[in-house]
Structure 1
C-alpha cells in the first residue's frame, strides 16, 4: 500500500502512527475492528478476508509461524497456535479440540461477552488456518464444516473455494472442522529439535506479554462492589486507583464497553439473587443498583427475552 494511502487511512481512523506499526506492536481491539471493517470497504473487495487468507504470509506470524511450520503434524501446529496465540493478539478466544475419530475443531473469535469480530477478520483468521497448513504440509486441507458469527453474505462462492463447504452463519462461534486425515498430515519441515528451542523462546516472550485477565477480574470486582451505589464510572475508577479516562481507555483496548461489563455483572448477580425465594423484585433491583423495580424488569427483559417473574425461581430456567 502506498505510504500516502496508509497515512490517509491512519488519519481517518485516528491512528496517526499506523504507518509506523511493527509486526510485534499490539493494536487495541477497537482499532482492529475499525481496520477490518473499513479497509475492506475502501478496497471494494467483497471477499477481502478470504483473499487475505489466500495471500497470507507466514512471516506475519513471526516466531509463532516458525513454531507451527516445524511441528510434526497439522494438529500439532494448531495446538501450538492455541498455546501461544497471545503472542499475536489479546482479544481472542481460541481453542482446538480433537474428536474421538481424530477430526479437529478449531474455534477462534472475540472473548466471551464482547461483540463478534467484523466479517472479514473472522474469515481471514479461519481461512489462514487452512491456507497456511496446506502450504506447510504440502497437501490439501479438507474442511468438513465451517461456521461464522456474522450473517451470510450475498455470495458464498469464495467460501466454497477456500473451505470446500458451505459454512453456517449467525452461529455462536467461528470455527472450522478439519478431517482426521488433514489433522494428522505431516509437516514438510518438521524438526523436533528446532521446535524445542523455539518453544523456549516462545515461553519467554509469552511471560513478557501483559495478560488482561487479572486486570479484568479486578475491574469486575470493583463493579460488583459498587452495585448498590450508583455504579458510576468515576466511582469504579476510584476503586481501581485510576482516572476515569484511563479506565475508559483500558476497557476500549480490550474490546469491551463499560455498560456491557455492568450488564454482565448485573445479570449474573440477578440470576443468583432470583434463586432466593426470600427476596422480592424490589430488593433485588436495589441490590443491583436500579432506581426502581421497573428498571430492573426492563433490563432483565433485554438480557433474557423474558421478565424476572416470567422466569420464576427455578434455577434450571435461569
Structure 2
C-alpha cells in the first residue's frame, strides 16, 4: 500500500467511464458533475475523487444496465491505465502484473485500501476498496475494479482467468448470474472488504509479451510519475521519513514515536485515523527501499537484509515473496 493520498483520480479513468455512456447522456452527466471540460484534461491530470463516486452512481442509474460494473470490466481498455498498463502487460506472469498494478495504483486512483498478498502456496489475494472507516464504494465501481483484475490479465496472457473466491462490501443484488460468469464463482456479499483470490496456478500463468528489460525501465518511469503525484499533509511525510530512518535499527512503534517526538499511543491513534496499520506502513517503506537496493549489483543479499532491518536473509526472502510472488533477484 502506498502511503500518500491526495484523494484524486486520473482523468484517463474518468474519460473511459464517460465513454461508456451515450453521447447525450455523457454530456448531461458531465455538465451535472462539473466536468464539461473533461475533454481538455490530459490523461494524467487529477480530478477530485468524489467525482468518480458520483459518476459510478449516476451512469449506471441512467444507463438502465443492472450489471453495468460487470459489463464495464468486460470492455475495459488497457489504455485507461496509461503507463501502468504497459508495465503490467510486459511483466513475466499474471501474479507479477497484478502486484505491480497494486503497487503503482495511486497513478490511477487515490484514497483506496488496496493490497496484493501472496500466500505460502502462491495463491494471490487482491483487495481494493475504501479506506478504513469510509463509506463502501458504489456497487458498480467495486464490481468493475475487481472484475478488471481478471479481464485485463486475461487479455494480456491469452488465458481464461477466474477467481477462486470473490467478496464484496455491498449487499447481494437480485441476480448474480453475471457475477458467476465473470468471476467463475458465486461471490459473497456484505463482507468486510472487496477482494478476490487467484489460485497459485493462475498467478503463475505467463504473459504473452513479457519483457524483463522493458519492465525495468517502465518501473523507474512509474516511480518518477508516482513522486509527481500531489503529496498529502506534512505529517504523513514525516511519519514515512521516520520509518525510513529506523530501517536497519529499531523499527518498533516506540522508536518511531520517539523520533517524531510524540507518545506511542498518540502515534498509534494517528496511524489508525489514516485507516492503516503500523506493520502495513513498515512493509510499504521496506518494499520501496528493497526495490531500490536490488537494482544495485554491488549489494549482496546480506547487506540488503541488514539495511532493511530484517533479522536474516530468509526473513527478507519470505517478505519479498509475499509482496511480489518472486524471490529477490529472482525476477
Quote the residue 1:191 is aligned against.
Answer: 211
* 1:268 counterpart residue number: none
Gaps of 5+ in 1: 219-261, 266-318
Aligned residues: 222
Distance in 2 between residues matched to 1:49 and 1:150, nearest whole Å: 13
Matches of 1:3 and 1:215, distance apart in 2: 44
Is the 1:50–1:127 contact (alpha carbons within 8 Å) kept by the matching residues of 2? yes
Select 1:73's aligned residue among 93, 105, 120.
Answer: 93
Find the structure with the greater CA-based Rg: 1
Aligned pair 1:125/2:145, yes or no? yes
- Structure 2 length-normalised TM: 0.63
The aligned residue for residue 106 of structure 1 is: 126
Alpha-carbon contact 1:6-1:18 (below 8 Å) kept: no
TM-score computed with the length of structure 1 as normaliser: 0.66
Q: Residues 29-82 of structure 1: CA distance to partner in whole angstroms, max 9, x if unpaired?
A: 211111000100111100000000000011110000000000010111111111
**Contact 2:162–2:182 (CA under 8 A) maintained in structure 1:** no
| Residue of structure 2 in register with 1:282 after alignment | none
Question: RCO (CA 8 Å, sep 6+): is it higher in 1 or 2?
Answer: 2
Q: Which stretches in structure 2 are left out of the alignment for 5+ residues?
A: 1-20, 239-269, 274-331
1:57 is aligned to 2:77: yes
Matched-pair contact (CA < 8 Å) for 1:90–1:212: no
Equivalents in 1 of 2:141, 2:161: separation in Å?
Answer: 21
Over the residues paired in the alignment, what is the CA RMSD in angstroms?
2.2
Match of 1:85 among 105, 115, 121: 105
Q: Mark the CA change 1:47 to 1:68 in structure 2 (over 3 Å): closer, same or farther.
A: same
* In 2: Cα distance, 1:213 partner to 1:63 partner: 26
1:21 is displaced (CA, Å) by 3.8
When residues 150 and 53 of structure 1 are mapped into structure 2, their CA distance, relative to the original with a 3 A threshold, is same
Distance in 2 of aligned mates of 1:202 and 1:64: 7
Query: Which of 100, 103, 114 is 1:94 aligned to?
Result: 114
| Per-residue Cα deviation, 1:115-158 (whole angstroms, up to 9, x for no partner) | 11100000000000000111111111131100001010010011
Q: Is the 8 A contact 1:10 1:19 kept in 2?
A: no
1:211 is aligned to 231
